[in-house]
Structure 1
Amino acid sequence: MFSADMGSSESTPPPPPPPPPQSPPPHPSPPPAPPSPCLRQPWRQLTESSGDIIRYLGAYHPRNAQFSHLRVLLHGPVGAGKSSFINSVDSALRGRVTGRAATDATSGRSYTLEYKTYKIEKQASSFYSVVFNDIMGLEDNLDNGVQVDDVKLAMKGHVREKHKFNPQNPLSERDFGYNPDPTLDDKVHVLVCVVPVDTVSLLSDGVVQKLRQVRLAARDQGIPQFAILTKVDQACPEVGRDIRNIHKSKYLKKQVEQFSVLLGIPVNCIFLVKNYESESSTSEDISRPILTALKQMVNYGEDYVNDINSNSNSNSFRSTSYTYEYHEELYINTEGPGEEERMRRHWS
């Protein structure tokens, strides 16, 4: 016999299973890495060592017997590093840091006031066959800085050694500092424009106009022209960390191209350098770009003096001048990749 309450009881349903464990939310994808400020490969290869270039320059002497040396004139805005570049060339060639050309890191005015020739000692009582002249800096204000007419006179050899420039009174034929009868050695054989690389887009219209006037005057005389863009380590952090990035820096490459358009100087005549400023000893990585630029100046200057008519006192630059002008126009009017290669083919 069954108990009465056995049929009345109901079974309790089992508890629901626990929910499956939830996967943690996926981590958001990291943002893409910013593009590298440096190219994978340098856009310009420096194939020669400093030692090779020093030996080349040590053996160099103008083939034209009318010349004892090449004269290189540096010009550019105030504070560009013209005097520092002369010191850097001297340092790179002599293997120790020198400071013969006075510089000033604080003044906003030109520290160079007089026209002075710098010879670089090769050995005791012998010198390299290239000399440098520094000149007062160009300024926007007509009352300050060297006058364009004075730069033109210097190119023609009419400025005497130690002449002190006066921005308010350009040199005239009546002045003692005027050289009425310059020799071929007195004249300028290579013109170099020196500009801080980070100021290319900041140059005032007045300074750019003066730079162009000087450039056109040199073109009319057939004088080969170069540009040195300085202070690369201050302009690009990657180069400041490692000077070997000088030709990998995208920013510096862009500045070179911009300066080429600004003044019409071909890219292969524009050189990036770091001057010796805070260093106490020389190094291959700093010296090599400096000496590479110097060798090109010597090569172009040699072509120039060899093309001078020995029967004329004027600086005729017939065949090479024509090629240089065509080279210049080709660069200005050609766009797109490969333009630099085409220019090189037209130079020869």
Structure 2
Amino acid sequence: MGADNSTQPPPFLDTPWRQINWKDKQSDLQYVKNYKPHIEGRQLRILLHGPVGAGKSSFINSVKSVLQGKMCAAALVHDMSQDYFTKKYTTYKIEKENPSTFYPFVFNDIMGLEPIKGVLVDDIKLALMGRVKEDYKFNPEHKLSDGDQYYNTEVNPNDEVQVLVCVIPADTVNLISKEVIRKIQEIREVASELGIPQVAVITRIDQACPEIQKDLKNAYKSTYLKEKMEQFSMEVGIPMNCIFHVKNYSEEINLNDDVDSLILSPLRHIIDFGEDFMNHKLSQSEGSHSYD
């Protein structure tokens, strides 16, 4: 007689455990297009970090593609033949319909996390605080220090990071070393001390599950991915409602509504979290001044 598998959970749920606007991506798209910070002249800065090859640059390109309605490649994508492909601190802006205007949020990609080398946690802390200047070349041996030409001594509020996004590949999540997980934990602690909201984006979900590759609408039905999300949430402390599945554009030459919907879901929440943080800092600042 065969083994009794009745107690094992099914690989896919009958109904998704999280709802996505599959049929109405336009509402999320319009929300992002209409977004304007309440504070005049401010922009949201979104910092991406994660293991090498996790899909940070691809996520930036995918966001730009969705918002511009065409395939775009602003950020150079990691070449697996090269170590630490992203080496400089680069700000990526996204043009609106008018080429001379941009969305009021920007992305920064940094050198990937590695067990021994990779970006230093101290440099990430400086970036979060707005201390890292554009084009700073990350050095896995030495941290950026005061007095360096790329150390920002006078911080403009727009230099500071409002949202920290950890990008993790679903298909190799089991292979992420304990040392990299420890670095992610350290980075989260630093961001938490600064009060910066944090989000995790799980990429390559189609590579982790054949059924999702067939139909992206299975993204939040997979019990395997849900278990991996729960495990990652426990390991690094990011709540489940701040972790999102995405499929970056990679081989496609045309846009796909389902891919767009998965990209827009975390983007909308990233904007909301960043806006709340920005307004909270302003209220704290005004509150402290009132006692002067």
The TM-score normalised by the length of structure 1 is 0.77
Work out the CA distance in 2 between the residues paired with 1:32 and 1:186.
55
**2:52 aligned with 1:73:** no
The one-character-per-residue Cα deviations of 1:301-340 (angstroms, maximum 9, x if unpaired) are 1111011136849xxxxxxxxxxxxxxxxxxxxxxxxxxx
1:321 corresponds to = none
Task: Provide closer, same or farther for how the CA distance between residues 264 and 311 of structure 1 changes in structure 2, counting only shifts above 3 A.
Answer: closer
**2:59 aligned with 1:85:** yes
Task: Provide closer, same or farther for how the CA distance between residues 239 and 105 of structure 1 changes in structure 2, counting only shifts above 3 A.
Answer: farther
Find the partner of 2:214 among 241, 264, 273: 241
Work out the CA distance in 1 between the residues paired with 2:274 and 2:91.
17
Work out the CA distance in 2 between the residues paired with 1:64 and 1:35.
48
* Alignment map for 1:96-135 (pairs within 5 Å): 96-107=70-81, 109-124=83-98, 125-135=100-110
2:289 corresponds to = none
The sequence identity of aligned pairs, in percent, is 48
Find the partner of 2:195 among 211, 222, 231: 222
Work out the CA distance in 1 between the residues paired with 2:136 and 2:79.
23
Find the partner of 1:260 among 233, 237, 244: 233
2:35 corresponds to = 60
Q: Secondary structure at the match of 1:127?
A: coil
Find the partner of 1:44 among 5, 18, 43: 18
Residue 37 of structure 1 deviates from its aligned partner by 2.1
Find the partner of 1:275 among 248, 256, 261: 248
Work out the CA distance in 1 between the residues paired with 2:228 and 2:60.
22
* Alignment map for 1:325-344 (pairs within 5 Å): none
Task: Provide closer, same or farther for how the CA distance between residues 59 and 202 of structure 1 changes in structure 2, counting only shifts above 3 A.
Answer: same
Q: Secondary structure at the match of 2:282?
A: coil
Work out the CA distance in 2 between the residues paired with 1:236 and 1:289.
16
Work out the CA distance in 2 between the residues paired with 1:63 and 1:127.
16
Is residue 50–residue 288 contact of structure 1 (8 Å, CA) maintained in 2?
Answer: yes
The one-character-per-residue Cα deviations of 1:206-231 (angstroms, maximum 9, x if unpaired) are 11111111100000010000000110
Q: Secondary structure at the match of 1:192?
A: strand
Q: Report runs of 4+ in structure 1 exceeding 4 Å deviation.
A: 31-36, 310-313
2:266 corresponds to = 293
The TM-score normalised by the length of structure 2 is 0.91
2:171 corresponds to = 198
Residue type at the aligned position of 1:63? H
Work out the CA distance in 2 between the residues paired with 1:157 and 1:126.
23
Q: Secondary structure at the match of 2:85?
A: coil
Work out the CA distance in 1 between the residues paired with 2:266 and 2:275.
14
Is residue 170–residue 207 contact of structure 2 (8 Å, CA) maintained in 1?
Answer: no
Work out the CA distance in 2 between the residues paired with 1:108 and 1:196.
18
Q: Secondary structure at the match of 1:301?
A: helix
Q: Is the deviation greater in 34-43 or in 188-197?
A: 34-43
Q: Secondary structure at the match of 2:102?
A: strand
In our comparison, the structure showing a higher alpha carbon Rg is 1
Residue type at the aligned position of 2:106? V
Q: Secondary structure at the match of 1:226?
A: strand
Work out the CA distance in 1 between the residues paired with 2:11 and 2:182.
32
The one-character-per-residue Cα deviations of 1:64-103 (angstroms, maximum 9, x if unpaired) are 23x4210000001111110011001111111111111001
> Unpaired segments of 5 or more residues in structure 2?
287-292
Work out the CA distance in 2 between the residues paired with 1:80 and 1:61.
30
The one-character-per-residue Cα deviations of 1:93-144 (angstroms, maximum 9, x if unpaired) are 1111111100124236211000011111111211111110001111101xx2
Residue type at the aligned position of 1:51? Q
Q: Is the deviation greater in 224-233 or in 41-50?
A: 41-50
Residue type at the aligned position of 1:163? Y
Task: Provide closer, same or farther for how the CA distance between residues 32 and 74 of structure 1 changes in structure 2, counting only shifts above 3 A.
Answer: closer
The one-character-per-residue Cα deviations of 1:10-40 (angstroms, maximum 9, x if unpaired) are xxxxxxxxxxxxxxxxxx99x9999752111
Residue 254 of structure 1 deviates from its aligned partner by 1.0
The one-character-per-residue Cα deviations of 1:176-209 (angstroms, maximum 9, x if unpaired) are 1111111110000000000111333322121111
Work out the CA distance in 2 between the residues paired with 1:219 and 1:297.
16
Residue type at the aligned position of 1:126? T
Work out the CA distance in 1 between the residues paired with 2:77 and 2:163.
22
